Amino acid sequence: MDILCRCINSCFVLSHGIRGGSEIYLVLEGGDCAPKTVRIEGSSVRYLNPDERSTASLIRNACLKKIPASREVVSSPGVFVSARGFADVLSDLDGKGTFVYLREDGADIRGYGFPEDPIFVLGDNQDLEPEEEDLLLARNPDRIRVGPVSLHADHCMVLVNNEMDRAGAE
């Protein structure tokens, strides 16, 4: 859970505000009621603070929500939950952007030409399962890495946001 909270922080939290153009999908494939996907929209999320504890509450409340099999429901403003797994989420995102796979053997992010709507995919503290990776690779994603050292997912996301900030500022 704690790595997910830190990822949400890295995805959205600025010194003075929230990254309104960002969106995160937390695909939870473990536990009794898996799969579940918690989606957070930067443009509408509320009650999002930098600390892990309050963010954990947002996720926990979302996971406790009763979910119809067929659709996504609102858990709190800007936080949505559904019974989707990794394959479903990829399918839903098909056509909505370019998949970008964060891997240590990818091309250096510096010099990467960001597509208009990048959809970054990365594992938490574990790599994607082979079946999950196959589903992603079938979509021919770009592959990038953030640096020479292996980092946790939340730190990778800070580096990706910085690179996009720089690309946007040019």
For residues 113 and 107, give the distance between their C-alpha atoms in angstroms, rounded to a whole number. Answer: 11
Residue selected from 4, 7, 8, 9 as contacting its own copies according to rule CB under 8 A: 9
Taking contact as CB under 8 A, which single stretch among the options 28-36, 61-69, 94-102, 155-163 is the one that binds its own copies? 155-163
Shortest CB 31 distance to its own copies, Å: 18
The answer to whether 155 contacts its own copies (rule: CB under 8 A) is yes
CA distances to 43, 46, 75, 120, 150 from 144, in Å: 26, 31, 33, 10, 13
Question: Which residues lie closer than 8 Å to 163 by C-beta, 6 or more apart?
Answer: 109, 110, 112, 114, 146
The crossing angle, in degrees rounded to 10, of helices 86-93 and 130-137 is 10
The answer to whether 129 contacts its own copies (rule: CB under 8 A) is no
Neighbours of 94 (CB within 10 A): 10
The answer to whether 52 contacts its own copies (rule: CB under 8 A) is yes
Please identify, using beta-carbon distances, which residue of 80 and 101 lies nearer to its own copies.
Answer: 101
User: Could you give the dihedral angle defined by the CA atoms of residues 100, 106, 107 and 108, in that order, rounded to the nearest 10 degrees?
Assistant: 90
Residue selected from 30, 32, 53, 69 as contacting its own copies according to rule CB under 8 A: 53
Phi, psi of 114 (to 5 degrees): -60, 130
Q: Show the binding pattern over residues 56-95: x = contacts its own copies (CB under 8 A), - = does not.
A: ----------------------------------------
Name which of residues 10 to 39 contact its own copies (CB under 8 A): 10, 13-16
**Positions that interact with its own copies (CB under 8 A):** 2-3, 6, 9-10, 13-16, 50-53, 125, 146-152, 155, 158-159, 162, 165-166, 168-169
